[in-house]
Amino acid sequence: MGHCNLRCLECSHLSPYVPHEIYDLNDFIADIKVLEQTLQLQYFKFVGGEPTLNRQIVDFILAVRQSQIAQKIIVSTNGVTLFNMSDEFFKALDILEISAYPGTLVGQKHIEFAKEKGAEFQKEILIHDKHIFRRTQTPYPHPSEQILQQIYDSCAILQKNNVIHHGYYYKCSRPIFTNYYLQAKGIQGTYLPEKDGISIYQPHFRDRLISYLQRGKPLAACQYCLGTVGKSIEHRQMTKEELHAMPAHFYKISQIVYMNQMRKLARYQRWNRNLQRFGMIAFWKKLLWIFNKLCTGSYLFKFFLKRLKICLNFAFQRLGSLILARKEKKWLIG
Ligand code: SF4
C-alpha cells in the first residue's frame, strides 16, 4: 500500500503524496504465483506507505509464506500502529523493522511492546533511529543528460531494492509514486510508471527481467530523483501546505547532491554492471576494490610515504657520514 499515517519530509517512497491506495489481496497472490516460478529471494519486505494500515496484512504475509518465494519475511513499519497489531501479525513475520522517527508518537513504550512480542514469538525486532534523511526528490528535471546518467549509475537502491506492484516489476519504488508527487506540485505530465517497469504476465519474463536489470539506461523517474547521493537533511514532519508548495528553483545541482560521491559511485557501479554481464564478478570485484583503494590514495600514499622515509633516512645517513669524513680529513691534515 502506498499511503502512510506520517508526513516525513523526503520520504523515500513519497508516501505523503500518495492517496489511499491498497494492493488487492487476490491480485497480490496472483502476482506472487507468477514470481515464484522465476525468483528465489533471501528477503521479501513489506514496505509502504505504512504496511500495518492494511487490515489484511496478515493474509499478505501468509501468502508470501505459502509461496516459499523468500527465506525471510520482513515488515517495515514506523511503529505508530504497533499497539493495534494482533498476535497473528507477530507470529506471521520473521523480522519486524521499526523506523523510529523523531517528533512522532512512537516512544519507548512502543519499542518495549515490540520487543516483548518479539521475545514471546521468537521474532527478530530491528530498531532504526532515523534522525537524518537524504534529499531524494525534485520537481525539476535534472539539468543535463550527464547528471541524469550519473544519478542513475550511482544509485544503490536499484542494486538491492526491487519492487513488485500491480503486476509490474520495478527496479525501485519511485516510478510507482512519482506521478502523485508531480501532481501534488501541480505538474501535469505524461509520465507513465509502467514504462519504467516490466509486466510479469507477458511471455519470457525471466529473459526480460535479466535484460531489464542489466539495462544501463536511466528510468524516466530518475529525471526527478536524486537516488542515493542527495544531501543529508534533518528529519521532520511536513505540514499539509508544504505538500503542495513548490521548492524555489534557484539551487544548483551541487547544492542538493554530493557531487564527488556521485561521480565516484557512478564510475564504480558502471564498472560493476559491465563486469556482471561477463559473469566474472567475484574476481573483478576484488580487482576493483584494489583499484579503488589505489585511486582513493590511501594505499598509494602509504606506499610512497614508506619509500620516501627510507630514502630520506638513507640520504641523511650519507650526508652525516660525508660531513664526518670531511671533518676527520681536515683534522688529519691539520
Ligand atoms: S528513480 Fe532512478 S535514481 Fe531514483 S531510486 Fe529509482 S533508479 Fe535510483
Instruction: Check: CB of residue 118 under 8 Å from CB of residue 96.
Output: yes
Write the residue with the smallest CA distance to atom 4 of ligand 1: 227
What per-residue confidence (pLDDT) applies to 331? 45
Domain count, the chain: 2
Residue 328 has pLDDT above 60, yes or no: no
Regarding whether 312 and 167 lie in a shared domain, the answer is: no
Per-residue model confidence as pLDDT tens digits over 242-263: 888 887 776 788 989 999 999 9
Atom of ligand 1 nearest to the CA of 227: 3
Q: What residue has cell string 500502529?
A: 81
Confirm whether 4 is domain-assigned: no
Extended beta strands in 24-91, E state: 41-46, 70-77
Please give the average per-residue pLDDT across 166-186, as a whole number: 91
Regarding whether 163 and 92 lie in a shared domain, the answer is: yes
- DSSP designation for 48: S
Regarding whether 75 and 159 lie in a shared domain, the answer is: yes
Please give the average per-residue pLDDT across 155-169, as a whole number: 88
Instruction: Check: CB of residue 30 under 8 Å from CB of residue 36.
Output: no
Grid coordinates representing 267 are: 564510475
- DSSP designation for 167: T
Measure the CA–CA gap between 125 and 114, rounded to whole angstroms. 7
- Cα(155) to centroid(ligand 1), Å: 6
Q: Which residues line ligand 1 (CB under 6 A)?
A: 151-152, 155, 157-158, 171-172, 174, 219, 221-222, 225, 227
Measure the CA–CA gap between 194 and 212, rounded to whole angstroms. 13
134, 219, 226, 228: which to mutate for ligand 1, most atoms within 8 A of CB?
219
Ramachandran bin of 317, using left for φ above 0, alpha for ψ from -120 to 50, beta for the remaining angles:
alpha
Regarding whether 197 and 93 lie in a shared domain, the answer is: yes
Per-residue model confidence as pLDDT tens digits over 48-76: 789 999 999 999 999 999 999 999 999 99
199 confidence band (pLDDT: 50, 70, 90): very high
Atom of ligand 1 nearest to the CA of 218: 2
Residue 247: give its domain's CATH number.
Answer: 3.20.20
What per-residue confidence (pLDDT) applies to 321? 67
Measure the CA–CA gap between 168 and 23, rounded to whole angstroms. 12
Angle at 223 between CA 221 and CA 226, to 5 degrees: 90
Confirm whether 128 is domain-assigned: yes
What per-residue confidence (pLDDT) applies to 284? 63
Regarding whether 314 and 184 lie in a shared domain, the answer is: no
Regarding whether 184 and 61 lie in a shared domain, the answer is: yes
Measure the CA–CA gap between 334 and 320, rounded to whole angstroms. 21
Regarding whether 325 and 252 lie in a shared domain, the answer is: no
SS3 (DSSP) at 125: strand
DSSP for 175-228, written as a single string:
HHHHHHHHHHTT------GGGGEEESSSS-HHHHHHHHHH--SPPGGGGGB-TT
Please give the average per-residue pLDDT across 167-192, as a whole number: 87
Regarding whether 86 and 217 lie in a shared domain, the answer is: yes
Write the residue with the smallest CA distance to atom 8 of ligand 1: 227
Confirm whether 28 is domain-assigned: yes
Instruction: Name the strand (E) or helix (H) holding 128.
Output: strand 124-129
225, 228, 256, 262: which to mutate for ligand 1, most atoms within 8 A of CB?
225
Regarding whether 241 and 134 lie in a shared domain, the answer is: yes
* Final residue belonging to a domain, choices 239, 261, 283: 261
**Phi, psi of 72, rounded to the nearest 5 degrees:** -135, 145
State the residue range of the domain holding 329: 297-334
Higher per-residue pLDDT: 289 or 161? 161
Confirm whether 120 is domain-assigned: yes
What per-residue confidence (pLDDT) applies to 299? 63
* Final residue belonging to a domain, choices 261, 286, 308: 261
What pTM was computed for the model? 0.77
Instruction: Check: CB of residue 248 under 8 Å from CB of residue 173.
Output: no
SS3 (DSSP) at 70: strand
Largest distance between two CA atoms of the chain: 108
Confirm whether 274 is domain-assigned: no
Instruction: Check: CB of residue 127 under 8 Å from CB of residue 100.
Output: yes
Regarding whether 310 and 216 lie in a shared domain, the answer is: no
Atom of ligand 1 nearest to the CA of 158: 7
Write the residue with the smallest CA distance to atom 2 of ligand 1: 222
Regarding whether 304 and 185 lie in a shared domain, the answer is: no
The stretches of 215-258 forming alpha helices (DSSP H) are: 240-244, 253-256
151, 165, 174: which to mutate for ligand 1, most atoms within 8 A of CB?
174
Atom of ligand 1 nearest to the CA of 219: 2
**168-170 sheet: strands from edge to edge:** 163-165, 168-170, 197-199
Q: Strand pairing partners for 44?
A: 73
Atom of ligand 1 nearest to the CA of 221: 1
Confirm whether 275 is domain-assigned: no
Residue 150 has pLDDT above 50, yes or no: yes
Per-residue model confidence as pLDDT tens digits over 90-135: 999 999 999 988 777 778 888 999 999 999 999 999 998 888 899 9
Lowest average pLDDT, out of 4-18, 202-216, 242-256, 286-300, goes to: 286-300
* Final residue belonging to a domain, choices 214, 245, 261: 261
Confirm whether 288 is domain-assigned: no
Atom of ligand 1 nearest to the CA of 152: 3
Confirm whether 268 is domain-assigned: no
Write the residue with the smallest CA distance to atom 1 of ligand 1: 222
- Cα(228) to centroid(ligand 1), Å: 8
